[in-house]
Amino acid sequence: MSILRNKDGNAALMACVVVLCMLLVFSVISEYLRLEIIAKDVRDATQTAVISVATQNYDEVYNGLREGYSGGYTLDESDTWRQNVDSGAVYANLSDILNLIDGSKYAGSEVEYNVSNIDVDIINVPLASGNSGGKFESIVTLDLHVPLSFGWDFVEPLKIRLKVNAGYTPKF
C-alpha cells in the first residue's frame, strides 16, 4: 500500500506491470479465439462432407420419393424391402477439404490440429406406408485435438467431440 501512496512521480515500474498484465490477457484472449476459429472451421468442413453423403444417397432415396416417402429402400427379387444407403467417403471428403495429412493439419512443420475417431451413422426413415414425417439423416461424430500455443505445455490440449448432422427431407 505504501508503494501506491508514494507520490515520487516515477511510474515506470507500474507501467511495466500494467503492460505485462495486458499482454498476458491479450495472449489468453487470442488463444481462445484461435481455438474457436479452428473448431468452427472443422465443424463447417465436416458439415460439408456430411451433406455430400446425404446427396450421394439421393439416388437411393428417390425411388420412394415419387410416392411421397423419403426412405432409402429398394424392393429385391423376393419382394421384400431392404435398406439401400451407403455411408459415403466422409473421411476422404474431410481430408480433401481441410488438407489433412494422416488426420493432422500442419502449419509449417508443427501440428495445428488433429482429427480422429470419425464415426458415420446413417439414420434411414422407417419403412411405413405414406409419409411418416421423418427425414433421412447422416450424423458424423469426430474427435478434435488442438495443441495450445499458450501455456508452454503446462496446459492440456483442447479435446472436443464434435457432432455434425445433415438430413434430407423431401420438399414436396
Query: Comparing 161 with 68, which gets the higher pLDDT?
Result: 161
Q: Where are the alpha helices (DSSP H) in the chain?
A: 2-5, 12-56, 58-65, 90-98
- Highest-pLDDT range among 54-68, 82-96, 118-132, 137-151: 137-151
Q: Distances in Å between the alpha carbon of 76 and those of 36, 60, 71, 83, 130?
A: 48, 13, 15, 10, 20
Q: Roughly how many angstroms between the first and final C-alpha of the chain, as a whole number?
A: 75
Query: Comparing 85 with 130, which gets the higher pLDDT?
Result: 85
Residue 61 has pLDDT above 60, yes or no: no
**Where do the structural domains in the chain lie, given as residue ranges?**
11-168
Three cell numbers, residue 152: 508452454
Residue 131 has pLDDT above 60, yes or no: no
Q: How far apart are CA 153 and CA 83, in angstroms?
A: 49
Q: Distances in Å between the alpha carbon of 126 and those of 24, 71, 79, 134?
A: 55, 7, 17, 8
Q: How far apart are CA 138 and CA 11, in angstroms?
A: 62
Q: How many other C-beta atoms can be found within 10 angstroms of the C-beta atom of residue 46?
A: 26
Q: What value does the mean pLDDT take over residues 109-129?
A: 79
Phi/psi of residue 28, nearest 5 degrees:
-65, -40
Query: Comparing 102 with 53, which gets the higher pLDDT?
Result: 102
Q: How many DSSP H helices and E strands does the chain contain?
A: 4, 6
Longest dimension (CA), the chain: 98
Q: Are 124 and 74 in contact (CB under 8 A)?
A: no
